[in-house]
Amino acid sequence: MLHDNLSINQLGHLTFAGVDTVDMAKKYGTPLMLIDENRIRQRVRTYVGAMKKYFGEDAAPLYASKALCFKGIYKIVAEEGMSVDIVSPGELYTAAQAGFPLKKAYFHGNNKTDEDIAYGMDLGIGYFISDGYEEIDSIDRIAGEKGIKQRVLLRLTPGIDPHTNAKISTGKVDCKFGTPIETGQAEKYIAYTLTKQNIELMGFHCHIGSQVFDTEPFCDAADIMIKYIAHIEKALGYHASILNLGGGIGVRYVESDPYIDIDENLRLVSEHIKMRCEEFGVKMPTILMEPGRSTVADSGMTLYTVGTVKSINDYKSYVSVDGGMTDNPRYTLYGSKYTMMVANKANQPADFKCTIGGRCCESGDLLAEDIYIQKPQRNDLLAVFVTGAYNYSMASNYNRIGRPPIVIIKDGADRLAVRRETFEDMVLRELD
Ligand code: LLP
């Protein structure tokens, strides 16, 4: 099986995190998102442990909560001692509602409004990651009004293209995020920030992109950033005490994707960073990283009920399910590949070639094309693996299709963490 939290039981049913998926679908209905809590905790422990072991006690991974955001996840990562990155006041509110210690949180985003900034400060957010002059001015002014000194990192673009999907590559100079180093703009931006009375500049941030399987792009980014830290020390007499290298570690969605040994990857990156710090005569900054997808992706799975199975003679077969781009828009948006199987026929051969369609009134609403699964029929269960990241958080209620519930599995026990979105929920904000 693709990951070791997936198996097949004596009934020929798919199991996930030790529970029978057919039972889960009967109990909670479909579409249904299952989350393996122990797996998330295991991933978080790997990140927290490896960062400290290889980069030093102060180093920390921040969970990029855009990957999967609901109150329960902030509770889990808080219990495991992981910090978070949030990108909007909505994520901030959710974290606050979950009782997350916001002193440890980092407020990202390329366009924070003055209201967002004030809200973050009122909730006692630890750090802002600023994305431009306007934000620096606003943070400084609002911090002054509140009588605080706000800690800030500056998002810089190192000019790296990690060669993943263009839509999820964010470290290039031509990008809406960050201030470019190579055009000389970053230096002016840093110098400007250092003039601000109510800002404590803590260091720099960069993020190269997502689904990066090699350590090389991270090492390349670190090279540029450490060389730049050395340059800024000479040019401006400022030492960056934090270097945040962003997120982006890849995840195994299909058999052809490699396994990633997170611990080993971090060890390699840390050795590279230590070497470069020595070479450039820079005191090793506190290293932060922001793993989102790799913290939660393989902890998630989605179950659908099969509806129509249509074979177009001499051409292809369409299998339609009761969810689709509303709960997982990633195939529609990025052509992302997933591994699927018919959960109640898991021990049958996967020899039926088909395209999986969602239930939206839109031809592009597909979950996969030309994949092989067990031959399905109406009311069978289709399981899609590795849906923990960027599925629920990107879900919509297009066509007034409700977002699925989230059921958390821990030590063989299931509990409802997010209930299914109802029709009443959909009209709740609509006035007569
Ligand atoms: N830090 C920053 C500043 C980011 O922009 C991102 C992702 C992350 C961390 C987390 O990256 P991860 O470890 O999850 O790859 N919706 C797209 C992904 C967009 C990611 C945007 N930024 C998808 O479904 O693939």
Pocket-testing residue among 88, 164, 210, 294, ligand 1, by greatest number of atoms within 8 A of Cβ: 210
The stretch 382-392 carries a mean pLDDT of 98
pLDDT at 167: 56
**Band (159; pLDDT cuts 50, 70, 90):** confident
C-beta of residue 73 within 8 angstroms of C-beta of residue 296: yes
Domain check: are 352 and 233 in the same one?
Answer: no
- Looking at residue 174, its pLDDT comes to 80
Catalytic residues: 361
- Give, as one character, the DSSP assignment of residue 398: G
Same domain, 162 and 282: yes
> Domain check: are 136 and 275 in the same one?
yes
**Same structural domain for residues 154 and 268?**
yes
Beta strands (DSSP E) in 178-241 are 179-180, 199-205
130: CATH: 3.20.20.10
Q: How far is CA 366 from the centre of its chain?
A: 22
Which amino acid type is present at position 160? I
What digits encode the pLDDT tens for the residues 254-304? 999 999 999 999 999 999 999 999 999 999 999 999 999 999 999 999 999
Domain boundary among 291, 326, 357: 291
For position 165, what pLDDT does the model report?
54
Do residues 176 and 205 both lie within one domain?
yes
Which structural domain range is residue 363 located in? Answer: 6-36+297-427
In a domain, 261, yes or no: yes
For ligand 1, residues with CB inside 6 Å are 64, 67, 85, 108, 168, 170, 207, 210, 246-249, 290-294, 330, 334, 390, 394
Q: What is the pLDDT of residue 175?
A: 84
H or E element at residue 77: helix 71-79
Tell me the average pLDDT of the chain. Answer: 96
- Mean pLDDT for the stretch of residues 87-98: 98
